[in-house]
Structure 1
Amino acid sequence: MNTPVQLITGPFTGAACLLRGLDRLRQPDLRHFVWIPLLINLGLYGIGVWSGMHYFSAALDWLMPTWLEWLRWLLWPLFAIVLAGVAFFSFTVVANLIASPFYGPLAEKVQRQLGLSVAGEEGEGGIAAIVADIASGFRRLAYFALRALPLLLISFIPGLNLVAPFLWLLFGAWSLSFEYMAYPLEAQGIRFQQQRELAWSNRMETFGFGIAILLGLGLPVINILIPPAAVVGATLYLAERGRLKGGPVSDNTPSKL
């Protein structure tokens, strides 16, 4: 039964929703939204590492004369360090790209768990909905790009560049929060303009949620779980505040954290 809930509002609400999303990912019917893209990513990196080692060895055999054979023992450790660095700094980015197609179905799954309907179940799906979602995504990208350019210019202007880090922090928090809230909203057929209005009408909570995501993405290993946790947390947040059809609802799932 869907029942209204009394909610604490403010910037710390976002951090609470992110933690609840992280906790909810432990449910058996949600885990595959994490481990399937993770296994795909690990497989791709495994192939990439093997290919890199194979072609690097072939390049050494082709380029290195016999009298420089001793240099091979210095080049291999250097190559391993470079390869490890590239893998470390790119793993999370690639993991998010691979996992992003899973985030829409993840938001829909959580909504069904809460007893809410999604757009496709009400005859609002199909090609038209897919096209609308893609168009909404491009509008978000354009929206972010048009606001990132002035910030980039400010970063190079003496005096103004002193406030640039703070502005980038706010912009990053807003962008991340807006992006992850879009998944549950688009599952209900709510497009870009309404998404933006909703995010701005609750801007303190929107910024708080985004800052919590930024902090989580800075934590090694755990940062892989932050994007799906943000999708779940955004879904819970919107559902409990009546922003999704059939809400507000109460999430009575016991926490395991």
Structure 2
Amino acid sequence: MRDLAAGFGYLVKGQRWVARHRRWWGFGMLPALITLVGYVAALVALFFWTDDIVAWATPFADDWSHPWVGLFRGALAVLLVGTSLLLAVITFTAVTLLVGQPFYESLSERVDLSVGGTAPESGLPLWRELLIGAREGLALVIRVAIWAVLLFALGFLPFIGQTLIPALGFCVSGFFLAEELTAVALARRGVLLKARLRMLRGRRMLTLGFGVPLTLLFLIPFVAVLLMPGAVAGATLLVRDLTGEDADLDPAAPAGEPAAPADALSGRP
């Protein structure tokens, strides 16, 4: 419970940071706003075409008697919309970070400087960072797609599919949302995707405490735009906890834990 509360605390601290630095907050909303317009258009189209998509995907149910065909296709429509919303929450962050990458990296550096006085850098040339980012982005999309298919299939289970599976879906979304946001600061520290995932799993409750509330808030379209700059700032503060950099500054961090060297975190030899 302590880690859950600490994770949520970093989300709040990030919003407070951008509230004190309003110029960063204002610029940080622009990439999120551009991305939101595209996502809203796609989700509205999906909403109007959901029944047609479900009917096209289930031709075998055309001859079923009423009300079974309606109940079956209605449940599939709910699952399709729900899965699409969860995927939208996860990919919204990834696309927004891609659109606003230079700004969000600068914002993360500024947070590091304001808290610790230094801003770690990967030391890699730009082309190498872009190559690693593209490769890791594809790997993360594959992981998210596998989870989405699995959760969609489990949604057909009686009772569990309508209760436990949606809750699990929010936890999965929160975890990957936290990964995407912390990647901005961890990539500057030379931490690769596998090492990032290992770090977040090692502090699972801390990660979920940050990511799950943000996932729920991001379901409200314009709220996602307002909170995005603070989410990046909060994720940077969370990274400082994960790496032990704030062990002597933040009472929520484990006392006496030294900062881990970049090479040890990155997974590189």
**Same fold, judged at TM 0.5 (above):** yes
- Other-structure match for 2:264: none
Q: CA RMSD in A?
A: 3.3
Give 1:19's aligned residue.
12
Q: In the aligned structure 2, how far is the partner of 1:242 from the partner of 1:152?
A: 32
- Which residue of structure 2 aligns with residue 145 of structure 1? 145
Q: CA deviation at 1:159?
A: 4.7
Partner deviation per Cα, 1:134-159 (whole Å, 9 max, x = no partner): 21222211122222221111112335
Bigger relative contact order, structure 1 or 2 (CA pairs below 8 A, ≥6 apart): 1
Per-residue deviation, 1:124: 2.5
The 8 Å contact of residues 119 and 125 in structure 1, kept in 2 or not, is answered as no
Q: Which residue does 1:134 correspond to in 2?
A: 134
- Name 2:120's counterpart in structure 1: 118
Moved more, 96-105 or 173-182: 96-105
**Cα separation, 1, equivalents of 2:175 and 2:239:** 16
Q: Relative to 1, partners in 2 of residues 1:229 and 1:243: Cα closer, same or farther, differing over 3 Å?
A: same
One of 13, 20, 31 as aligned partner of 2:25: 31
Aligned pair 1:234/2:235, yes or no?
Answer: yes
Q: Which residue of 2 aligns with 1:186?
A: 187
Question: Measured at CA, do residues 190 and 96 of structure 1 come closer, stay the same or move farther in structure 2, by a change above 3 Å?
Answer: closer
The alignment status of 1:205 with 2:206, answered yes or no, reads yes
CA contact (8 A) 2:120 2:189 kept: yes
Aligned to 1:164: 165
Distance 1:151 1:94 in 2: 19
Q: Which runs of 5+ in 1 are unaligned?
A: 1-7, 49-88, 252-257
Report the identity percentage.
23
Question: C-alpha separation between the residues in 2 aligned to 1:215 and 1:132?
Answer: 30
Distance apart, 1:216 and its partner CA: 2.3
**Compared with structure 1, are the counterparts of its residues 37 and 147 closer, same or farther at alpha carbon in structure 2 (3 Å cutoff)?**
closer
Q: Deviations over 1:220-246 (max 9, x none)?
A: 64331222222111111221x2617x6
**After superposition, what is the alpha-carbon deviation per residue over 1:48-105, rounded to whole angstroms, capped at 9, x for unaligned?**
9xxxxxxxxxxxxxxxxxxxxxxxxxxxxxxxxxxxxxxxx9xx98798456424333
For 1:228 and 1:160, the matched residues in 2 are separated by: 36
Equivalent residue pairs, number: 196
Counterpart amino acid of residue 118 in structure 1: P
SS in 2 for 1:119: coil
- Unaligned regions of 5+ residues in structure 2, if any? 42-84, 251-269
SS in structure 1 of the partner of residue 249 of structure 2: coil
CA distance in 1, matches of 2:25, 2:194: 32
In structure 2, what is the Cα distance between the partners aligned to 1:39 and 1:218? Answer: 14
SS at match of 1:156: coil
Write out per-residue CA displacement over residues 194-235 of structure 1, whole angstroms, 9 at most, x where no aligned residue: 100000000011111112202322456433122222211111
Structure 1 match to 2:265 = none
CA distance in 2, matches of 1:140, 1:187: 18
Q: Give the TM-score, by structure 1 length.
A: 0.64
Deviation at 1:36? 3.9
Say which SS state the counterpart of residue 25 (structure 1) adopts.
helix
